[in-house]
Amino acid sequence: MSTLDSPSLEVRRNGPRATLLVDGAESSCIDTSDPTYLDFEYMQHATCALQATFPSSAPLRVLHLGGAACALPWAWSLLFPSSRHTVVEISPKIASFARETFDLPRSPILKIRIGEARAVIDSLRGSSFDVIVRDAFAGESVPSQLRTLEFTAQCHRVLREGGLLLANSAHGGSDNARIDLAGMRESFADVQALCDPKVGRGARRGNIVFLAQYSPQSVNEAELDRLLRKLPLPARPLRGKDLSKWQAGTRAMSDTEIGWGSDEA
């Protein structure tokens, strides 16, 4: 039986590729011969968004809410050599396991901070990061306190002008990523959804990456489209009217609705 402090951890290896399973669920995949290779589709989508927004020489400060084996920050530290990454991981056991198992970059390139993601972002000073990646899950779902209007407002506050919020959302079955979208559109100048069209239509369960821009037109959309088309499983963005149509009928959640702040459930 898993607990927050002691999840079940396992690494399955296929040649140089190592997949971390947390309580039996695939959580990270690292190619130890080339950490810039990202096996998970949503990580590929997020990387396309970053590459279409910032030059590889940019001295980015990136906050990762959720880390597991740190596959994404490790890859980005190599793709953007001047970048610095802070990973917030709720489980000390997972953080220690990742450090012991993989040859992760050390601080200040990649720093792992133990904490609950919402409490951490609420505590940060404004305009302190260029990119925030929300990739925290409880089981197969995103924790409710990381999906509310207030959470996205805090992300906007912590980002610098021209920054990005990249949110990995589960969609399908009991998970409705449209709730995340509704909250982001209240705080951010522009939001796009990056996904396999089958996931967007609900034909299969999967992940949707929301790209929320602090300032409109930060992302080079033509370059983003080109990068997405080059992926092994090409994806496409939903924007503007198409995105509004997709969201129709779904509203955002508030902290009050989920009980966050009264007892910090």
- Which range of residues forms the domain containing residue 122? 40-254
Q: What's the pLDDT at 2?
A: 43
**179 part of a folded domain:** yes
Q: What's the pLDDT at 131?
A: 98
Give the long-range contacts of residues 261-264, CB within 8 A, separation 24 or more: 264/119
pTM of the model: 0.95
**243 part of a folded domain:** yes
Q: What's the pLDDT at 5?
A: 65
**189 part of a folded domain:** yes
**For residues 175 and 109, what is the distance between their CA atoms, to the nearest angstrom?**
34
Helical residues (DSSP H) of 111-166, grouped into ranges: 117-123, 149-158
Q: What's the pLDDT at 265?
A: 52
**5 part of a folded domain:** no
**14 part of a folded domain:** no
Helix pair angle (71-79, 41-51), 10° resolution:
30
With 0-12 / 13-18 / 19 or more C-beta atoms within 10 angstroms meaning exposed / middle / buried, residue 10 is exposed
CATH code, domain carrying 198: 3.40.50.150
Q: Using pLDDT thresholds of 50, 70 and 90, give the confidence band for residue 1.
A: very low
Distances (CA, A) of 150 to 92, 153, 246: 26, 5, 23
**263 part of a folded domain:** no
pLDDT tens, residue by residue, 94-142: 999 999 999 999 999 999 999 999 999 999 999 999 999 999 999 889 9
Measured CA angle at 178 (ends 169, 250), to 5 deg = 155
**160 part of a folded domain:** yes
Strand order in the sheet with 9-14: 9-14, 17-22, 25-31
pLDDT tens, residue by residue, 3-30: 556 899 999 999 999 999 999 999 999 9
Domain count of the chain?
Answer: 1
**47 part of a folded domain:** yes
